[in-house]
Amino acid sequence: MTPTPRIRNRLLVAVTLAAVAFAGPASAVDGFEDVSPNSAHAGAIGDVAEAGITTGCDVGRFCPGDDVSREQMASFLARSGSRAEFASSVAELSAANGYDGVPASTTVRASGATGGVTRVTLSGSVSVYTEGAATSCPCEVEAFVYRASDDAQGPSSWSQLPSTTTGSGRVATSLPVHWMVEIPSGSTETFHLAVFLNDGTPNGVTAEAALSAVATPF
């Protein structure tokens, strides 16, 4: 039996609708029109796009079936991985500068796409000492990390520089510094470790410090 023109038209409409339904995704994933929301990898693709690890292969396209070159892989790994920076140095604290100084600094480069954030975890330690007895102590010592661009400051650590010497003949104290802060992805920030001697007037005060920064894109 040959279908009538009306039946043929209905069949044509049904086949066309079915083709549209199975030709592509019903909606884009994070702006990628070629990624189906029903794909098993849709969530992961959305995550790496949001983190700035990839922007796709073209405007509005991810090209999920394409091969990845070694240079593209290097870019993906650089954008996705944490970056660590480390610095250490020694600074002399004298009465001339009010017993303050910046014995360690580090610069952080935040990866990821513009609009995202990178979490910077700063950790370090500072040792403050004098050679020989500090007769005007005990003295209160403060240390913290601050951001150079706006002087934003992390939490302070406190200790005391005693008046009695150790076995090495030094008067010494050590204290840790920690701060976790978010900066815009794609930006560069410098962080300083600052130390202050808040009272007393000992001679020849030295601060020896180390500061590390781990930047993780989110």
> What per-residue confidence (pLDDT) applies to 27?
45
> What per-residue confidence (pLDDT) applies to 128?
92
> What per-residue confidence (pLDDT) applies to 140?
92
Given a contact cutoff of 8 angstroms between Cβ atoms, the answer to whether 64 and 185 are in contact is: no
> What per-residue confidence (pLDDT) applies to 122?
96
Q: What is the pTM of this model?
A: 0.66
Q: Per-residue confidence of the chain (218 residues) as pLDDT tens digits?
A: 555 545 444 433 343 333 333 334 434 566 788 888 888 888 888 877 766 677 788 788 888 888 888 877 776 766 666 678 899 999 888 766 667 889 999 999 887 666 778 889 999 999 999 888 777 888 899 999 999 999 999 999 999 999 888 777 788 999 999 999 999 988 899 999 999 988 777 878 899 999 999 988 77
Given a contact cutoff of 8 angstroms between Cβ atoms, the answer to whether 136 and 202 are in contact is: yes
DSSP track, the chain: -PPPHHHHHHHHHHHHHHHHHHHS-SS-BTTBTTS-TTSTTHHHHHHHHHTTS---SBTTB--TTS---HHHHHHHHHHHS-EEEEEEEEEEE-GGGTSEEEEEEEEEE--S-TT-EEEEEEEEEEEEEEES--TT--EEEEEEEEETTT--B---EEEEE-SS--TTSEEEEEEEEEEEEEEETT-EEEEEEEEEE-S---SSEEEEEEEEEEEEE-
Domains, the chain, ordered by start = 5-80 (no CATH), 83-217 (2.60.120)
